[in-house]
Amino acid sequence: MADPANNGRVLADGKQRIDFQTEPARYRHWKLNVDGDVATLTMDVDEKGALFDGYDLKLNSYDLGVDIELADAFERLRFEHPHVRVVVLRSGKPRVFSAGANIRMLAGATHAHKVNFCKFTNETRNGIEDFSENSGVATICAINGTAAGGGYELALAADHIMLVDDGSASVALPELPLLAVLPGTGGLTRVSDKRKVRRDHADVFCTTEEGVKGRRALDWRLVDELVPGSKFEEAIAARAREFAVKPARERGDAGIKLTPLARAFSADAVEYGSLTVELDRPHRLAAITLRGPASPPPRSTEAMAALGADFWPLKLARELDDAILNIRLNELDVAAIVFKSAGEPEQVLAYERFLDDNKDYWLAREIRLLWKRVLKRVDLTSRSLVTLIEPGSCFAGTLAELPFASDRSYMLIGARQGDNRPAAALALSEANFGAYPMCNGLTRLASRFLARPSDLDAAKAECGNKLDAETAQKLGLVTFALDDIDWDDELRVFLEERASFSPDALTGMEANLRFAGPETMESKIFARLTAWQNWIFQRPNAIGEDGALKRYGSGQKPAFDTRRV
């Protein structure tokens, strides 16, 4: 279990781990207040509450621990406070909104932690935008002073940015001139694509350390509203009321409690209620086995709400999300994640039909939206992904998205000798054709069949049918269908080969291949930005002994290799 006094780290199997589970009673950096249909999230970072030793979180600067709380708060707003219509983000400190990601943390963190930190903060901010677009809950950011770097990037995720007009409050993306890196949480992309700031104005903005203030920030589209200090509180309240009455999708009156996940950590496994993670460290593998439902779906939305966080699709989504994050941050040597499943496909499809039949009910909608975000997190995880569809598996409907998200999928033909479980089957549902778009805006099957859209139609015609291995391969739904004779050897060769390749090269290859098709603002953030930031974070100009991150605050100017190659 997590130790709330240990800065978000969990003590288990003799190791310290970053824990992504928290709750409002344990928050050290955010205060969540719900007043009717308006929620206020106040950023008041505990300077001494850093995730690691060696730095203080001054001026509302943040590390991963701060963002874990922010992500948790928005998830609780979705499920525990479905009546909320608008969220106000603001600071609890005078004359500063947020100084952004803590520079001392970035300077001292490993490369892997920096990259995964940026990825998680990106996912959190995309989730804020998803909350507005798909759940009808708008976000207002009230900037009472300085919003620099990641602080302004957080503001950029909001629907409406208010800036106090006091002669000193400013917005800034100073990473390039100060630190020789790029804004790590989508700042460049949102400035150009979301706020549509002119290129020349953006160039000035992103190379000016002190940022932009007042009227210029408004004129350049960097903020939406400029408010005198004497009227700031009044204006925030008025804007919240305005956003709260805008037409929105149906929201519930009473939410459900997101109870803590039940997890048992051991040396080589993590046991959850609906899945198991097994770690084969010598072979650099993590196997995630998802378990199908043990009982039929409830008969009504009231019964679903009564189950709360124990409702199988919600429980499994939360557990899979936690498992993926644990592997990302705490199991860095894992080369490949192997997805398996166990259960009855018919039961999984019954839950799919239940969610489809109640898609206009707020809880069913939010569960589907959670699965969308979790599956995107799987897509963006820099490990090789492989799915094994074996006898007794239940890759159906939503769970069938995992083989489609994988870099390869293998399906066994028939049964294995001595195995009396049902033959491997794959089953599709309506959810596979629209509910879970990737960051490119397409479903995983549409991305798969870009060259031949007719193959997508052929797959859709099989909705609800249990497909055997040979049929699934013929339809293009799996990579290989193998018999019992070849199964073990083919998998062994593939996994050994994968573990022998360069992790850097594999990450680059997989990230390029996973997101075919159109480019969106989200795909730019995760593909273009992540690739360049990943590279820049390793360059001496940024992290060398004489680089900007190392010399920041020392009074010494960084020494740059001046060649632009």
Is the residue at 330 inside a domain?
A: yes
Strands (E) located in 343-433: 384-389, 408-412, 426-427
Is the residue at 258 inside a domain?
A: no
Predicted confidence band of residue 532 (pLDDT cuts 50, 70, 90)? confident
d(CA 565, CA 155): 33
What integer is the mean pLDDT of 459-477?
98
Domain shared by 395 and 321, yes or no: yes
Is the residue at 242 inside a domain?
A: no
Q: Residue 23 above 90 pLDDT? A: yes
Predicted confidence band of residue 246 (pLDDT cuts 50, 70, 90)? confident
What integer is the mean pLDDT of 346-368?
97
State how far the alpha carbon of 271 is from the alpha carbons of 21, 310, 342, in Å. Answer: 15, 16, 15
Q: Which of 119-133, 244-258, 335-349 has the lowest mean pLDDT?
A: 244-258
What pLDDT sits at residue 11?
44
Question: What share of the chain has pLDDT > 90, as a percent?
Answer: 88
Domain shared by 269 and 200, yes or no: no
Predicted confidence band of residue 458 (pLDDT cuts 50, 70, 90)? very high
Question: What share of the chain has pLDDT > 70, as a percent?
Answer: 96
What integer is the mean pLDDT of 350-358?
98
What pLDDT sits at residue 537?
86
What pLDDT sits at residue 248?
64
Judged by DSSP in three states, 287 sits in strand
Is the residue at 545 inside a domain?
A: no
What integer is the mean pLDDT of 344-367?
97
What integer is the mean pLDDT of 31-60?
97
pLDDT in tens, 283-327: 999 999 999 999 999 999 999 999 999 999 999 999 999 999 999
Domain shared by 344 and 448, yes or no: yes
Assign residue 29 the CATH number of its domain.
3.90.226.10
Instruction: Read off the tokens for 440.
Output: 């490119």
Q: Residue 89 above 90 pLDDT? A: yes
What integer is the mean pLDDT of 179-208?
95
- Relative orientation angle of helices 111-135 and 362-379, to the nearest 10 degrees: 150
Is the residue at 527 inside a domain?
A: no
> Backbone phi, then psi, for 342, in 5-degree steps?
-145, 125
Question: What is the tally of structural domains in the chain?
Answer: 2
What pLDDT sits at residue 343?
98
Predicted confidence band of residue 440 (pLDDT cuts 50, 70, 90)? very high
Q: Which of 2-6, 120-124, 153-157 has the lowest mean pLDDT?
A: 2-6
Is the residue at 37 inside a domain?
A: yes
Across the beta sheet with 275-280, the strand order is 264-266, 269-271, 275-280, 285-291, 336-342, 384-389, 408-412, 480-482
Domain shared by 220 and 331, yes or no: no
What pLDDT sits at residue 9?
54
Instruction: Please give the residue range of the domain that contains residue 404.
Output: 264-513
Domain shared by 202 and 88, yes or no: yes
What pLDDT sits at residue 161?
98
Question: Average pLDDT over the chain, rounded to whole?
Answer: 94
Is the residue at 552 inside a domain?
A: no
Burial 479-516 (b: 16+ CB within 10 A, else e): bbbbeeeebeeebeebbeebbeeeeeebbeebbeebbe
What pLDDT sits at residue 25?
97
What pLDDT sits at residue 564?
84
Is the residue at 518 inside a domain?
A: no
Domain shared by 97 and 218, yes or no: yes
**Taking a C-beta distance cutoff of 8 angstroms, is the pair 396, 348 a contact?**
yes
pTM for this entry:
0.95
Domain shared by 173 and 48, yes or no: yes
Domain shared by 394 and 505, yes or no: yes
What pLDDT sits at residue 565?
77
What pLDDT sits at residue 1?
36
What pLDDT sits at residue 8?
54
Q: Residue 420 above 50 pLDDT? A: yes
Domain shared by 211 and 303, yes or no: no
Domain shared by 144 and 69, yes or no: yes
What pLDDT sits at residue 15?
66
What pLDDT sits at residue 504?
87
What integer is the mean pLDDT of 424-437?
98
